[in-house]
Amino acid sequence: MNAPELLPLIDIQSQIDTRQLPIQAVGVKGVRYPVRLRAGHANHIGQGRSTDTVGHWTMSVGLAATVKGTHMSRFIELLEAPRDALDLPGFAAMAREMLQRLGADSGRISVQFPYFLRKAAPVSGVESLLDIDATWACHIPTQGAEPELSMTLTVAATSLCPCSKEISAYGAHNQRSHITLNVQLRQAMSIEELARVAEDSASCAVYGLLKRVDEKHVTERAYDNPKFVEDLVRDVALALAAEPRVKAYEVEVENFESIHNHSAFATIGGHRDD
């Protein structure tokens, strides 16, 4: 039996729409897909390695007033396309590729994922992984415009209360802090570099694995470097304001209090004028 003759299929999405209403963003969200990332900073173990994780993707493009619909399958084709491990420049190139595939003039792509830093304990040097939550986003406002890159990280750290240290005969209460940095970038930064800004601003960094000599070190390090939540958020802001690759920033710090049944938090934002 001969194969039935295939009839051409109508492309409904490409038909003319007469309502004359452009759509600022149309696409897909809640897409869970694997992604390979390139680690990127020599101050952390594993420089030059690639790491696999799972991304939660949102991808959209602007739709002209005369076009009925976008081609949703092309977003998934973008994720399926072979590519090297992604860094931020590669992510921006992916956003440009999305506009080409969809025939669009503007668009935005974002991916949220867990990222694992490999860190060495401060005294013993024993290595372990530490997870942080990260989001990359890239917006291209018009065809041919420079991609607008942003990155968001939530980094865990230790903060020790200056007031508790001052008024107590011995000891001081401390807590785990979550430091969330949302930065708009002029130039790419690695996840490791931005995480280091948060860690260096805290009373002490946290680690996945510590030996007794390390536990002594981090306890004493925090005690010698007390920070209110206000101190911590300001120190992060100052570090970001001094970073020429950062265009604008917003920082939130949440302290999960050890002597209260609530959290303390502070937020601050700013931008560089140059």
- List, in order, residues 6 or more apart from 108 with CB less than 8 Å away: 25, 58, 59, 60, 95, 137, 138, 139, 140
The span from the CA of 161 to the CA of 175, in Å, is 8
With respect to residue 11, please indicate whether it lies within any of the assigned structural domains: no
Given a cut of 90, whether residue 134 has pLDDT beyond it is yes
pLDDT of res. 143: 84
Q: What is the mean pLDDT of the chain?
A: 91
Given a cut of 60, whether residue 253 has pLDDT beyond it is yes
With respect to residue 12, please indicate whether it lies within any of the assigned structural domains: no
With respect to residue 228, please indicate whether it lies within any of the assigned structural domains: yes
pLDDT of res. 45: 43
With respect to residue 226, please indicate whether it lies within any of the assigned structural domains: yes
Do the Cβ atoms of 156 and 132 come closer than 8 Å? yes
Helix/strand/coil for 38: strand
Q: What is the CATH number of the domain that holds 196?
A: 3.10.270.10
Structural domain containing residue 238: 23-271
Residue the block writes with tokens 């209110």: 228
Count how many domains the chain has: 1
With respect to residue 6, please indicate whether it lies within any of the assigned structural domains: no
With respect to residue 139, please indicate whether it lies within any of the assigned structural domains: yes
Least confident of 24-28, 66-70, 175-179, 235-239: 66-70
Q: Give the mean model confidence (pLDDT) for residues 11-21.
A: 80
The span from the CA of 19 to the CA of 8, in Å, is 27
- Residue 9 pLDDT grade (very low, low, confident, very high; cuts 50, 70, 90): confident
The span from the CA of 101 to the CA of 120, in Å, is 43
- Residue 5 pLDDT grade (very low, low, confident, very high; cuts 50, 70, 90): low
Least confident of 12-26, 36-50, 87-101, 105-119: 36-50
Q: Give the mean model confidence (pLDDT) for residues 166-193.
A: 94
pTM, full prediction: 0.89
Quick: pLDDT tens for 20-43. Answer: 899 999 999 999 999 999 876 534
Quick: pLDDT tens for 198-214. Answer: 999 999 999 999 999 99
